[in-house]
């Protein structure tokens, strides 16, 4: 199972040589549903994959389905409404738990209590993430089990077409854009990536193929907020949290903040994906429990709050 995560492709384009390095021939499936209404404006993307691109049109398919099937549209809108409400409650709990960690870290301890208090505070932060992830999983399963989804012949037809195209493709490319819309369309069309199909992904696409999907922006217009788990990813690379545009979106010089961020995900590797980055996971890059092994030389965010190269002494 070959999966390659790239840095953003807007200015430094690496998808073409990366695709050629696979040595594959035949059509290359394209997913760029995160571009929303611009999904069809894929000429540059098709050119970047040597003209072999076949756009799966997930966003267009979703729009068509939801415009024609009232029950399916109601189910999707209900899912979105419930997810939005869940995120609102999660945000309240998350920010409080996040702020508590820093308050505890900065409190002077004369009797050795601070270390245990910090461990407990970080665990409470993880517990909030775990609660949210569990609720998201329940919501996803609930929506998938509705009659509107299970009983839609039109949806089943589109899903079959997408699966057939993937089965006939030599590789799959997943572009960026709006990660929320990308995840919605991937889930609606039940996109499943065959293990033998090489996958190249960047930005929101890289986030979508891993698990969980984590949003972050230390320089957002609304002010500094805690990084947040947003959704379940496809889980092709379990145990990896991609950080697209890390240098632009993260306060990497704030070691304390970065250390707390990394400590939230002790079973995951946080992998920065900046311009020019290429991180290749080969067919054997998994542990016995199915988690991805980050290749030697790739940079990760350490629990000390610094970027380190995997395997460096």
- pLDDT tens digit sequence for 90-112: 999 999 999 999 999 999 888 88
pLDDT digits (tens, 9 = 90+) for 136-169: 999 999 999 999 999 999 999 999 999 999 999 9
Tell me the mean pLDDT in the region 230-242.
94
pLDDT tens-digit series, residues 44-102: 999 999 999 999 999 999 999 999 999 999 999 999 999 999 999 999 999 999 999 99
Q: Could you report how far apart the first and last alpha carbons of the chain are, in Å?
A: 28
CB under 8 A, 24+ apart: contacts of 215-223 = 215/179, 216/243, 216/249, 216/250, 216/261, 217/249, 218/249, 218/250, 218/251, 218/254, 218/257, 219/248, 219/249, 219/251
Do the strands 53-55 and 28-31 form a parallel or antiparallel pair, or are they unpaired?
A: parallel
Q: What are phi and psi of 224, to 5 degrees?
A: -75, 125
Q: Where residue 313 falls among pLDDT bands split at 50, 70, 90?
A: low
Q: Model pTM?
A: 0.94
Alpha carbon distance 89, 125 (integer Å): 14
The pLDDT confidence band at residue 179, using thresholds 50, 70 and 90, is: very high
User: Which of 172, 162, 156, 206 has the alpha carbon at shortest distance from 59?
Assistant: 162
Query: pLDDT grade, residue 224 (50/70/90)?
Result: low
* Structure tokens given for 76: 């999707």
Report how far Cα 200 is from the mean position of its chain's Cα atoms. 13
| DSSP-assigned letter for residue 295 | P
């Amino acid at each position: 199972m070959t999966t390659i995560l790239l840095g953003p492709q807007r200015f430094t384009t690496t998808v073409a040589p990366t695709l050629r390095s696979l040595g594959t021939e035949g059509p290359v499936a394209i997913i760029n549903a995160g571009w929303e209404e611009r999904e069809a404006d894929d000429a540059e993307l098709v050119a970047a994959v040597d003209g072999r691109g076949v756009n799966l049109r997930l966003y267009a398919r979703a729009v068509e389905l939801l415009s024609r099937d009232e029950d399916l549209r109601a189910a999707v809108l209900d899912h979105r409404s419930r997810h939005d409400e869940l995120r609102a409650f999660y945000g309240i709990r998350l920010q409080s738990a996040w702020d508590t960690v820093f308050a505890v870290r900065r409190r002077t301890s004369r009797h050795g209590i601070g270390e245990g208090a910090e461990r407990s505070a970080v665990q409470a932060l993880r517990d909030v993430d775990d609660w949210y992830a569990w609720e998201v999983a329940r919501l996803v399963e609930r929506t998938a089990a509705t009659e509107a989804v299970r009983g839609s012949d039109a949806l089943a037809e589109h899903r079959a077409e997408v699966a057939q195209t993937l089965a006939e493709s030599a590789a799959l490319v997943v572009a960026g854009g709006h990660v929320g819309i990308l995840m919605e369309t991937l889930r609606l069309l039940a996109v499943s990536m065959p293990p033998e199909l090489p996958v190249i992904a960047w930005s929101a696409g890289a986030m979508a193929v891993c698990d969980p999907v984590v949003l972050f922006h230390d320089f957002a217009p609304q002010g500094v907020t805690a990084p947040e788990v947003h959704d379940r990813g496809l889980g092709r690379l379990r145990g990896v949290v991609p950080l697209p545009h890390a240098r632009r979106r993260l306060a990497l010089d704030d070691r304390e903040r970065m250390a707390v961020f990394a400590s939230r995900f002790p079973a995951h590797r946080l992998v920065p994906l900046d311009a020019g980055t290429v991180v290749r996971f080969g067919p054997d890059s998994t542990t016995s429990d199915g988690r991805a092994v980050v290749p030697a030389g790739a940079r990760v965010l350490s629990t000390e709050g610094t970027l380190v190269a995997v395997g460096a002494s």
